[in-house]
């Protein structure tokens, strides 16, 4: 961004990321031009309904997209200014597990069932930091206590089947932060856990972030989690980020009809106007043949003609707040009042109608 | 672990007792009389033998008790057809031959199955996978006597091509005698294990914890050895017990073709000649051997998979 002086350099900056998959039914365009960035000590939440490409987005940064059938067709991802897309090391150093850590949705299946928890934490230290087996094991115990697992010493000797789901996710976190990464990617880290455990895990992530000044990319369905954790939010729909802004922007000044729909459809104690839950009618577009215009057009209560034919450009509303919706074009006839409309609406960087 | 092992051993002993009883009952319900089958037997010998084995007494409980009692002392009796040969001697002399052949065959089968299976999974739908899976189908569907004959033919060809004896065509005595027969013996099991290993490996390759290992930035060899192989090999180990059974019992044909003086041949001969003591002795011995191999395999499984040892 050009103007705001207080923004620190982003630690991770992704632009125009496009990912597709070959399937029997054709080519699935899972991610269709995604831009986002995240800075040190900051949490970016990526929200959106199932299948919109959240996991594919972060997995392509981690080199976890199976290729084939997957393919990264364009884009760039810069970690501390260096290109990392399509590679897993810079300057001969492995990034994954060392600079960028990742935790997954289902802790029950995400750990190796035949290896002790301690060994699974220790091995990243041995591989990336050259720890001896002994030092790594000792550090693994420290990391387990850091993630608030009681009797860490004994627990480190145990196998995943001896742990509960919440403890497994703590162990996953301990593994991911073992090498003190600058970025932690958490793909729905609490979806498989019950509510009280969920809160504990989120608190843990918050504390770890404060202590290590990590950037966190948090994928979630749950706006409650967003409210609790996020500094910035990216709303994803059908492989695109349709709205991005601070958590405050998204909760109080939503500028995209989909964001509004999402808020109405999700139980959230933040939205003070929440009455009954309103499902969004219809289903996301076919990613085999995405519509020529806006992906949300068919479900959008405010759609106009141009929405069906031309993809909306990105309109910047404020420094961090941008949206892909034709209603923000200066010539839009009568923008709906429930959308937040910047007084100085301007055409964004991509295109003019 | 030790409690588990102890329980398995007791179960094993009961199983062997069961095998012994079943063999006994079966042998007494088939028609024919062991002492009648041999024409050259005088009435005097017959009476002596009948007295020695208690054949003049009722089958239950007297004969049965004698049989079990003798067996508990490790005495399987004397062959009915081979003069003065104790069944124990036959087993002692020929079992090591069969066991050596069998162990080598199991080794070939297990290592080959794991190696080829992992390879085909890693090269899924590529040329190595297609070739190996074609051979696997051959290995499973072609009976072992065909491979035995082909193997022998191959050896003859090899030796005449080299102009000297690279590997002996038949017989017994050195490791070089064992290689080809053991390979032939293990071939169908190897094919079966390859298929099992392939599907197990394919599942593991796409599992969540392998994805985690990649996200941890571990080098591919470490992921393969510590995360994929160890977990993928578990289903292979579970069927290794039955596989050992298949290989040991399938040894007869290979022993015959390659003129190997193993126990299998004696067993077949004994059946043909109704040599009761040899049949019962070798059956119970084979049974016991297999039961304890299966227990051993399960204990090894317990060492590799932490989830079973606690149960
Ligand atoms: N290996 C694959 N092969 C084919 N298509 C894939 C593959 N992985 C993902 N996709 C497709 O990419 C699209 C986005 O998937 P992704 O997993 O990123 O969704 P998501 O937003 O994470 O959803 P969820 O909230 O359910 O986790 C989906 O339509 C999915 O079908
Ligand atoms: Mg996902």
**Chain A environment of B206 (Cβ under 8 Å):** 66
pLDDT bin (cut points 50, 70, 90) of residue A342 is: low
Q: What is the best residue among A25, A55, A62, A102 to mutate for testing ligand 1's pocket, by most ligand atoms within 8 Å of CB?
A: A55
Per-residue confidence (pLDDT) for residue B39, from 0 to 100:
57
Per-residue confidence (pLDDT) for residue A349, from 0 to 100:
46
Does residue B2 fall inside a structural domain? no
Per-residue confidence (pLDDT) for residue B92, from 0 to 100:
87
pLDDT bin (cut points 50, 70, 90) of residue B36 is: low
Q: How far is Cα A298 from Cα A256, in angstroms, rounded to an integer?
A: 14
Q: How far is Cα B113 from Cα B189, in angstroms, rounded to an integer?
A: 8
Q: What is the best residue among A25, A52, A102, A239 to mutate for testing ligand 1's pocket, by most ligand atoms within 8 Å of CB?
A: A52
Cα–Cα–Cα angle for A341, A342, A343, rounded to 5 degrees: 115
Does residue B126 fall inside a structural domain? yes
Question: Do B163 and B276 fall within a single domain?
Answer: yes
**Chain A environment of B211 (Cβ under 8 Å):** 64, 104, 110
Question: Percentage of chain B with pLDDT > 70?
Answer: 95
E-assigned strands of A124-209?
Answer: 183-187
pLDDT bin (cut points 50, 70, 90) of residue B309 is: low
Contact at 8 Å (CB) between B182 and B250? no
Residue identifier of the C-alpha nearest atom 9 of ligand 1: A56
CB pair distance less than 8 Å for B217 and A97: yes
Q: Residue A309: is its pLDDT beyond 60? A: yes
Question: Do B156 and B293 fall within a single domain?
Answer: yes
pLDDT digits (tens, 9 = 90+) for B137-188: 998 888 888 888 898 888 888 888 888 887 887 778 787 888 888 999 999 8
Structural domain for B32, as ranges: 7-72
CB pair distance less than 8 Å for A112 and B211: no
Structural domain for A118, as ranges: 109-177
- No. of H helices and E strands in chain A? 10, 14
Does residue A84 fall inside a structural domain? no
Residue ending a domain, choose from A128, A147, A177: A177
Q: Which of A41-50, B40-49, B255-264 has the lowest mean pLDDT?
A: B40-49
CA–centroid distance, A47 to ligand 2, in Å, is 10
Does residue B186 fall inside a structural domain? yes
Tally of CA atoms within 13 A in the half-sphere of A300 that contains its CB: 26
Q: How far is Cα A168 from Cα A171, in angstroms, rounded to an integer?
A: 5
Does residue B192 fall inside a structural domain? yes
Question: Do B16 and B68 fall within a single domain?
Answer: yes
Per-residue confidence (pLDDT) for residue B201, from 0 to 100:
93
Query: What pTM was estimated for this model as a whole?
Result: 0.81
Does residue A266 fall inside a structural domain? yes
Question: Do B101 and B68 fall within a single domain?
Answer: no
Residue identifier of the C-alpha nearest atom 4 of ligand 1: A21
CA–centroid distance, B279 to ligand 2, in Å, is 63
b/e per residue, B85-112, with b = 16+ CB within 10 A? bbbeebbeebbebbebbbbbbbebbbeb
CA–centroid distance, B120 to ligand 2, in Å, is 29
The region that residue A97 occupies, defined by phi over 0 for left and psi between -120 and 50 for alpha, beta otherwise, is left
Q: How far is Cα B215 from Cα B294, in angstroms, rounded to an integer?
A: 38
Contacts of B19 (CB under 8 A, 6+ apart): B283, B284, B287, B288, B291
Å between A227 CA and nearest CA of chain B: 27
Å between B225 CA and nearest CA of chain A: 12
Tally of CA atoms within 13 A in the half-sphere of A326 that contains its CB: 23
pLDDT bin (cut points 50, 70, 90) of residue B191 is: very high
Beta-sheet pairing, A70-79 with A12-23: antiparallel
Q: What average pLDDT does this structure show over B194-201?
A: 94
Atom nearest to A287 CA in ligand 1: 29
What CATH number does the domain containing B197 carry? 1.10.3720.10
Q: Which of A45-54, A155-164, B26-35, B224-233 has the lowest mean pLDDT?
A: B26-35
Q: Residue B310: is its pLDDT beyond 70? A: no
Terminal alpha carbon distance of chain A: 23
Å between B291 CA and nearest CA of chain A: 27
Per-residue confidence (pLDDT) for residue B35, from 0 to 100:
64
Q: What average pLDDT does this structure show over B226-253?
A: 86
Does residue B153 fall inside a structural domain? yes
Q: Residue A182: is its pLDDT beyond 80? A: yes
Residue ending a domain, choose from A136, A155, A177: A177
Does residue B287 fall inside a structural domain? yes
Contact at 8 Å (CB) between B302 and B1? yes
DSSP 8-state secondary structure symbol assigned to residue A314: P
Q: What is the best residue among A46, A47, A53 to mutate for testing ligand 1's pocket, by most ligand atoms within 8 Å of CB?
A: A53
Residue ending a domain, choose from A142, A177, A212: A177
Q: What's the structural domain count of chain A?
A: 2
Q: Name which residue leads in pLDDT, B82 or A251.
A: A251
Terminal alpha carbon distance of chain B: 9
Question: Do B31 and B162 fall within a single domain?
Answer: no
Question: Do B61 and B124 fall within a single domain?
Answer: no
Q: ipTM of this complex > 0.90?
A: no
Does any ligand 1 atom lie closer than 6 A to the CB of residue A32?
A: no
* Orientation angle between helical segments B230-238 and B276-304, nearest 10 degrees: 160
Q: What is the SS3 assignment for A215?
A: strand
Question: Where do we find the tokens 């479900």?
Answer: A299
Beta-sheet pairing, A26-38 with A12-23: antiparallel
For every residue of B225-278, DSSP letters joined together read IIIIIHHHHHHHHHTHHHHHHHHHHTHHHHHHHTT---HHHHHHHHHHTT-HHH
Contact at 8 Å (CB) between A274 and A223? no
Interface of A with B (CB under 8 A): 62-64, 66, 88, 94-98, 101-102, 104, 106, 109-116, 123-124, 127-128, 159, 161, 172, 175-176
For every residue of B163-224, DSSP letters joined together read TS-SS-SS--SSHHHHHHHHHHHHHHHHHHHHHHHHHHHHHHHTSHHHHHHHHTT--HHHII
Question: Where do we find the tokens 């002399």?
Answer: B93
Question: Do B68 and B137 fall within a single domain?
Answer: no
Put simply, the chain B residues between 142 and 161 with a CB less than 8 A from any chain A CB are: none
Question: Do B37 and B119 fall within a single domain?
Answer: no
Question: Percentage of chain A with pLDDT > 90?
Answer: 37
Put simply, the chain B residues between 50 and 69 with a CB less than 8 A from any chain A CB are: none
Per-residue confidence (pLDDT) for residue A171, from 0 to 100:
92
Question: Do B45 and B150 fall within a single domain?
Answer: no
What burial class does residue A175 get, using C-beta atoms within 10 Å of its C-beta: 0-12 exposed, 13-18 middle, 19+ buried?
buried
Question: Do B20 and B111 fall within a single domain?
Answer: no
Does residue B252 fall inside a structural domain? yes
Q: Residue A256: is its pLDDT beyond 80? A: yes
For every residue of B113-128, DSSP letters joined together read HHHHHHHHHHTTTSHH
CA–centroid distance, B213 to ligand 2, in Å, is 18
Per-residue confidence (pLDDT) for residue A347, from 0 to 100:
45
**How many CB atoms are located within 10 Å of the residue B44 CB?**
8
**Chain B environment of A128 (Cβ under 8 Å):** 217
pLDDT digits (tens, 9 = 90+) for B52-99: 767 777 777 888 888 888 888 888 877 777 777 888 888 888 888 888
Q: Residue A157's closest chain B neighbor by CA?
A: B306
Q: Residue B208's closest chain A neighbor by CA?
A: A110
**Chain A environment of B212 (Cβ under 8 Å):** 104, 110-112, 172, 175
pLDDT digits (tens, 9 = 90+) for A141-169: 999 998 888 898 999 999 999 998 889 98
Does residue A65 fall inside a structural domain? no
Q: Residue B31: is its pLDDT beyond 80? A: no
Per-residue confidence (pLDDT) for residue B218, from 0 to 100:
93
Does residue A192 fall inside a structural domain? no
pLDDT digits (tens, 9 = 90+) for A288-301: 888 888 888 888 88
Question: Do B141 and B194 fall within a single domain?
Answer: yes
Does any ligand 1 atom lie closer than 6 A to the CB of residue A166?
A: no
Question: Do B99 and B68 fall within a single domain?
Answer: no
Per-residue confidence (pLDDT) for residue B145, from 0 to 100:
85
Does residue A98 fall inside a structural domain? no
Per-residue confidence (pLDDT) for residue B270, from 0 to 100:
82
Q: Residue A269: is its pLDDT beyond 70? A: no
Q: Which long-range contacts (CB under 8 A, 24 or more apart) does A193-196 make?
A: A193/A107, A193/A165, A193/A166, A193/A169, A194/A166
DSSP 8-state secondary structure symbol assigned to residue A162: G
Q: Residue A270: is its pLDDT beyond 60? A: no
Chain A and chain B share a number of CB contacts under 8 A equal to: 78
Does residue B231 fall inside a structural domain? yes
Q: How far is Cα A286 from Cα A291, in angstroms, rounded to an integer?
A: 8
Q: What average pLDDT does this structure show over B225-238?
A: 91
Write phi, then psi, for A176 (nearest 5 degrees): -65, -35
Which residue, among A268, A278, A257, has the nearest Cα to A337 in the 3D structure? A257
Q: What's the structural domain count of chain B?
A: 2
Which contiguous run of DSSP H or E holds residue A169? helix A165-177
pLDDT digits (tens, 9 = 90+) for A10-54: 899 999 999 999 988 888 899 999 999 999 999 999 998 888 999
Does residue A130 fall inside a structural domain? yes
């Amino acid at each position: 961004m050009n103007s705001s002086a207080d923004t620190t350099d982003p630690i991770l900056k992704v632009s125009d990321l496009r990912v597709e998959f070959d399937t029997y039914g054709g080519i699935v365009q899972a991610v269709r031009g995604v831009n986002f960035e995240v800075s040190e000590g900051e949490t970016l939440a990526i929200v959106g309904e199932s299948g919109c490409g959240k996991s594919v987005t972060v997995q392509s940064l981690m080199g976890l997209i199976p290729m084939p059938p997957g393919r990264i067709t364009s884009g760039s991802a810069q970690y501390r200014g260096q290109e990392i897309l399509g590679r897993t090391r810079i300057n001969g150093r492995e990034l994954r597990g060392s600079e960028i850590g990742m935790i997954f949705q289902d802790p029950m299946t995400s750990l190796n069932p035949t290896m002790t928890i301690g060994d699974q934490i220790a091995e990243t230290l041995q591989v990336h930091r050259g720890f001896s087996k002994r030092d790594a094991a000792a550090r693994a115990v420290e990391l387990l206590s850091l993630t608030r697992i009681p009797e860490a010493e004994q627990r480190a000797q145990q196998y995943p089947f001896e742990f509960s789901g919440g403890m497994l996710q703590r162990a996953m976190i301990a593994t991911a932060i073992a090498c003190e990464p600058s970025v932690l990617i958490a793909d729905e880290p609490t979806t498989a856990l019950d509510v009280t455990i969920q809160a504990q895990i989120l608190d843990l992530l918050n504390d770890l972030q404060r202590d290590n000044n990590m950037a966190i990319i948090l994928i979630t369905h749950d706006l409650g989690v967003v409210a609790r954790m996020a500094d910035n939010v990216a709303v994803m729909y059908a492989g695109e980020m349709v709205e991005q802004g601070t958590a405050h922007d998204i909760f109080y000044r939503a500028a995209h009809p989909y964001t509004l729909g999402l808020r109405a459809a999700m139980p959230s104690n933040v939205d003070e106007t929440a009455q009954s839950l309103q499902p969004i009618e219809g289903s996301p577009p076919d990613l085999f043949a995405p519509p020529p215009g806006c992906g949300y057009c068919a479900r959008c209560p405010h759609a106009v003609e141009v929405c069906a034919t031309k993809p909306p450009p990105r309109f910047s509303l404020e420094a961090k707040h941008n949206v892909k919706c034709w209603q923000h074009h200066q010539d839009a006839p009568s923008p709906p009042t429930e959308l937040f409309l910047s007084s100085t609406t301007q055409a964004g960087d991509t295109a003019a109608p | 672990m030790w409690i588990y092992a102890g329980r398995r051993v007791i179960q094993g002993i009961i199983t062997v007792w069961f095998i012994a009883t079943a063999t006994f009952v079966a042998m007494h319900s088939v028609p024919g009389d062991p002492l009648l089958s041999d024409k050259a037997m005088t009435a005097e010998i017959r009476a002596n033998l009948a007295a020695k084995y208690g054949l003049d007494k009722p089958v239950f409980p007297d004969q049965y008790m004698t049989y079990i009692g003798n067996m508990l002392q490790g005495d399987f009796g004397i062959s009915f057809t081979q003069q003065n040969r104790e069944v124990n001697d036959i087993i002692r002399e020929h079992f090591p031959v069969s066991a050596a052949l069998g162990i080598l065959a199991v080794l070939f089968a297990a290592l080959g199955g794991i190696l080829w299976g992992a390879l085909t999974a890693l090269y899924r739908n590529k040329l190595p996978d297609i070739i190996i899976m074609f051979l696997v189908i051959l290995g499973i569907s072609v009976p072992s006597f065909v491979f035995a004959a082909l193997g022998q033919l191959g050896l003859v060809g090899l030796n005449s091509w080299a102009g000297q004896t690279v590997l002996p065509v038949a017989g017994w005595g050195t490791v070089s005698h064992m290689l080809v027969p053991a390979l032939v013996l293990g071939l169908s099991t190897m094919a079966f294990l390859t298929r099992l290993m392939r599907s197990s490996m394919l599942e593991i390759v796409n599992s969540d914890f392998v994805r985690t290992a990649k996200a941890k930035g571990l080098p591919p060899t470490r992921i393969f050895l510590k995360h994929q192989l160890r977990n993928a090999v578990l289903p292979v180990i579970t069927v290794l017990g039955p596989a050992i059974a298949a290989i040991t019992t399938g040894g007869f044909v290979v022993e015959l073709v390659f003129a190997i003086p193993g126990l299998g041949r004696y067993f077949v001969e004994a059946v043909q000649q109704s040599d009761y003591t040899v049949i019962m002795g070798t059956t119970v011995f084979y049974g016991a051997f297999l039961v304890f191999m299966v227990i051993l395999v399960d204990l090894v499984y317990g060492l590799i998979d932490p989830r079973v040892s606690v149960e």
